[in-house]
Structure 1
């Protein structure tokens, strides 16, 4: 993972489309075959990473399919050659010793392209129906911090002795060690104060949810100023992209997806009932209507090809290195992005073209 370059990733469709579940242009498909096809196409198109979210049951429609993140990541590690694989992990579900061993194994299979995305969970039902206690927000982060500290040391090949509040580890060492780098990378999501403290202490890259540039820049500045040991922290952004030849065409597609998303109102209501109200992600994304998950189009990547490229450059100057992108329909829009947006940006330094910019729903300044 190179420092400072603009990098593009995609969200694997592990539980179906991200924008609207009733889109005739993107029928529901969370199968292994579809996910494999998307990831292989993303690699061929030049995308740098894929994020594989972890859910045991579909968080939107429990009767629908849900890809399992870690077995899927292991299979993709064997099928791909270049793209980085990032599997999300919820600490309450896996003991740190056994998860660290799994992570090292996928690191070996991939040839040094694996990372884990630490998420401290929001979907209460997934835990409670399995008889697993779902702690309060700050307690989950305290648990996650102890958990990831053990995983990190084990992935580094250290011999671990640990007597903590949640775990007692007696003289554990995992072999073989990582032959490619000190350990697989650790990505951390969440914007609460405990999440920020956790990523500064244990993370390599902080994932920020899609939101306007000014808020993203403020978050980056806040965390960047905090003292930490080791290499400087890097930053990523989740965002949904709608790019077309003209801004009017992009806004028409945005309106289409937004209208379709309104048909999912009952699904969203169930999700809200199952969500920890203290989860900052949902507090943030509730501030404005948008398309996509994890903030989606709230990042403002809706417009002409030049406008979207310019906006990506602005986020990059604010400190964002990795853009974890969502598209719908997935394959067609990934291809459009690779053909139209990637050539407009030098990966080492953004080539910015002057273009009027406005966020969805606002008039363009002429």
Structure 2
């Protein structure tokens, strides 16, 4: 399998800290201003992408602030020059015609740097309290598959006639389409069987939640083997929380500090668990090992010395991961540390190649 060039991205802080909410080094701030400044700094530091998660209400605690993803994505598109902007979308919240139009608008504001991250919902109150309802897991994915097929074809400029279980669309076309490429990219999250089927048929990139290398390699092998028709080969991204220091012991101490702080969020996590569909594979995976961060967090193993973390990233890349969507805490300081200490090491390792490194270690 040919792996695309390695890219690094950051999770926007749309609902506050990623590891622990009671950290004196990371005061709660989900404001537009904080997220704008964070993404502009990431672009300046050389990060390639940002993911803006979508929630209408805060998934951890309803009285906490929550940034709106799509208005923020449009605003940041106008203020950046290079970084890819990925906005998550839950299909039940937007009709596909409306969402496709929004996506094309941000695509052209950004000059071809926009992408959709399709997420088929896990937070029950977000839909139930709005009167939308919260269908069973596989039914949500069936809806999402029909939804994205409509969105994708409209974004490509097709004059669409569509009749399905959920949507009936007659002689509908959107203009302008993307002025820079065929359409915005489509990322898909979820690891259940319906999710794998959906991404194989309709996605460009599969977002995998943080977990050990062997597990990730198995997931990639499974989905990469599925039929894609005439579509290009699927690409792969990984969510991961990073704790890197000069030495392994320093990194472990920093990780233990975050674990201790995260334990204080137990009441909040209990509410989140109660509100989550138990069939969501992400939540099942996250129970396997102690970790901090969302979407798998430190389960990906990017905790250690600078050299250890760089080597693990290279191993994931060799297994097929193209994009690392990263979390840190405190975010700005650790994002800068990663850019200054880890990214150069990864690039250096890639430029030397494994044979040269092995020869050097034997010398």
1:237 counterpart = 2:238: yes
Give yes or no for contact 1:60–1:271 (8 Å, CA) kept in 2.
Answer: yes
Distance across 1 between alignment mates of 2:223 and 2:29? 37
Give yes or no for contact 1:344–1:351 (8 Å, CA) kept in 2.
Answer: no
Give yes or no for contact 1:345–1:351 (8 Å, CA) kept in 2.
Answer: no
Distance across 2 between alignment mates of 1:3 and 1:95? 34
Q: 2:181 corresponds to which residue?
A: 181
Instruction: Measure how far apart 1:345 and its partner are.
Output: 1.6
Q: 1:221 corresponds to which residue?
A: 221
Q: 1:295 corresponds to which residue?
A: 296
Bigger CA drift: 283-292 or 12-21?
283-292
1:352/1:126 Cα in 2 relative to 1: closer, same or farther (>3 Å)? farther
Distance across 1 between alignment mates of 2:50 and 2:236? 16
Give yes or no for contact 2:3–2:318 (8 Å, CA) kept in 1.
Answer: no
Distance across 2 between alignment mates of 1:349 and 1:173? 45
Give the number of aligned pairs: 354
Distance across 2 between alignment mates of 1:351 and 1:235? 24
Per the alignment, in what secondary structure is the counterpart of residue 188 of structure 1?
strand
Instruction: Measure how far apart 1:350 and its partner are.
Output: 6.4
Output the TM-score relative to the length of structure 1.
Answer: 0.95
Give yes or no for contact 2:3–2:317 (8 Å, CA) kept in 1.
Answer: no
Show structure 1 runs of 4+ deviating over 4 A: 350-355
Structure richer in helix, relative to its length = 2
Give yes or no for contact 1:211–1:295 (8 Å, CA) kept in 2.
Answer: yes
Q: 1:5 corresponds to which residue?
A: 5
Q: 1:49 corresponds to which residue?
A: 49
1:352/1:11 Cα in 2 relative to 1: closer, same or farther (>3 Å)? farther
Per the alignment, in what secondary structure is the counterpart of residue 342 of structure 2?
helix
Give yes or no for contact 2:201–2:227 (8 Å, CA) kept in 1.
Answer: no
Q: 2:313 corresponds to which residue?
A: 312
Instruction: Tell me how large the CA RMSD over aligned residues is.
Output: 1.5
Per the alignment, in what secondary structure is the counterpart of residue 347 of structure 2?
coil
Q: 1:107 corresponds to which residue?
A: 107
Distance across 2 between alignment mates of 1:101 and 1:334? 33
Structure 1 runs not aligned, ≥5 long: 356-366
Give yes or no for contact 1:125–1:274 (8 Å, CA) kept in 2.
Answer: yes
Give yes or no for contact 1:313–1:351 (8 Å, CA) kept in 2.
Answer: no
1:192 counterpart = 2:209: no
Structure 2 runs not aligned, ≥5 long: 359-363
1:320/1:260 Cα in 2 relative to 1: closer, same or farther (>3 Å)? same
Output the TM-score relative to the length of structure 2.
Answer: 0.96
Distance across 2 between alignment mates of 1:335 and 1:342? 10
1:301/1:331 Cα in 2 relative to 1: closer, same or farther (>3 Å)? same
